[in-house]
């Protein structure tokens, strides 16, 4: 299976005319939501196969609802596994949240930070991993309320990573947004994560509702404090593959590629810095 590395971008159907027949070389890997491609055939299937033959792809799902009290949709998960295997995709990532409860919701809702929730989610993660035959990769999500909180977000997240055997997609913008909205230190949160669990990352823009309220929208350029936090994460955990998310207010491809290139510049700088530090410690 193709591994991902470097800097990535979301692969969207509305961008196909710009992206094909030859994918831009500035992008090292691409990400799709399986739900947007699994039911398709014909022209779209051929275009996806044309693209996936040129570069590595990963997936970021929308509807697994790992924290829900509803039963897991086993048939859907089996379909995701078939999609991964057919297209030679190693990673299936999703959100550490839920989006269903006696019906599907169109928002990612926060899982209560409780021991009971950890037990529930860990059991479901193991079930998913048994079906897809690879570790599930879960993203830290932005949240705006924390009902019934027994522990903080960091403790909740690290307990799930440890007990389930799953891996992590570190969304740096979500850390920044949550740190403002819930008044915690973003660098402390990043430092507390286990380096060996982080397999790739996301970076995105957000909306400033107020000075103390940020809304994760993926609809704007990445701001400088978030770029700085990405660099801090690389220096803390090593450089990991990172993808630029942009879901609406999508600018021309050239502007997206400029942000992808900025990811690469930061990765290169941090790789050099860590290498220098290692040489210095050996000397």
Q: What is the pLDDT of residues 173-206, one digit of tens each?
A: 999 999 999 999 999 999 999 999 999 999 999 8
Q: What CATH class is the domain 7-282?
A: alpha beta
User: pLDDT at position 29, please?
Assistant: 98
CA angle 175, 181, 184 (to 5 degrees): 60
Location of structure tokens 């994460």: 233
User: pLDDT at position 217, please?
Assistant: 83
Nearest Cα to 173, choosing from 126, 129, 128, 139?
Answer: 139
Do the strands 136-139 and 167-171 form a parallel or antiparallel pair, or are they unpaired? parallel
Torsion of CA 46, 49, 51, 54, to 10 degrees: -140
Q: What is the pLDDT of residues 36-48, one digit of tens each?
A: 998 767 888 899 9
Q: What is the pLDDT of residues 19-32, one digit of tens each?
A: 999 999 999 999 99
CA distance 187 to 233: 8
pLDDT band with cut points at 50, 70 and 90 for residue 219 = confident
User: pLDDT at position 282, please?
Assistant: 47
Structure-token pair, residue 128? 């998913």
- What is the average per-residue pLDDT within 48-74? 92
Burial class (CB in 10 A: 0-12, 13-18, 19+), 279: exposed
User: pLDDT at position 279, please?
Assistant: 57
Residues in Cβ contact with 174 at an 8 Å cutoff, skipping those fewer than 6 apart:
139, 140, 141, 142, 202, 216
Q: What is the pLDDT of residues 93-145, one digit of tens each?
A: 999 987 744 444 445 678 899 999 999 999 999 999 999 999 999 999 988 87
User: pLDDT at position 109, please?
Assistant: 72
User: pLDDT at position 101, please?
Assistant: 45
- What is the average per-residue pLDDT within 210-234? 87
User: pLDDT at position 103, please?
Assistant: 46
DSSP string, 32-50: E-GGGTTT--HHHHHHHHH
User: Average pLDDT of the chain?
Assistant: 90
* Residues present in the chain in total: 283
- What is the average per-residue pLDDT within 48-56? 94
pLDDT band with cut points at 50, 70 and 90 for residue 210 = low
């Amino acid at each position: 299976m193709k591994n991902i590395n470097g800097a990535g971008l979301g692969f969207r159907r509305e961008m196909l005319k710009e992206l094909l027949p030859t994918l831009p070389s500035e992008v090292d890997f691409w990400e799709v939501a399986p739900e947007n491609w699994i039911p398709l055939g014909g022209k779209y299937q051929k275009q996806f196969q044309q693209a996936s033959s040129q570069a590595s792809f990963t997936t970021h799902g929308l509807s697994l609802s790992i924290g829900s009290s509803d039963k897991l949709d086993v048939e859907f998960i089996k379909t995701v596994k078939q999609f991964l295997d057919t297209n030679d995709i190693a990673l299936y990532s999703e959100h550490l949240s839920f989006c269903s409860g006696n019906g599907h919701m169109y928002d990612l809702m926060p899982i209560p930070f409780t021991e009971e929730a950890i037990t529930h989610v860990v059991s479901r993660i193991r079930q998913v991993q048994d079906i897809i035959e690879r570790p599930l990769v879960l993203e830290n999500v932005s949240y705006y309320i924390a009902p019934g909180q027994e522990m903080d977000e960091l403790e909740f997240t690290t307990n799930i990573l440890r007990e389930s055997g799953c891996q992590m997609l570190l969304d740096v913008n979500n850390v920044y947004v949550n740190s403002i909205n819930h008044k915690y230190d973003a660098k402390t949160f990043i430092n507390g994560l286990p380096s060996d669990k982080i397999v790739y990352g996301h970076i995105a823009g957000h909306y400033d509702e107020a000075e103390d309220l940020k809304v994760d929208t993926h609809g704007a350029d990445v701001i400088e404090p978030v770029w700085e936090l990405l660099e801090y994460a690389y220096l803390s955990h090593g450089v990991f593959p990172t993808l630029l998310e942009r879901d609406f207010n999508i600018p021309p491809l050239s502007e997206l590629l400029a942000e992808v290139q900025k990811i690469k510049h930061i990765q290169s700088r941090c790789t050099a810095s860590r290498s220098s530090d290692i040489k210095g410690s050996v000397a």
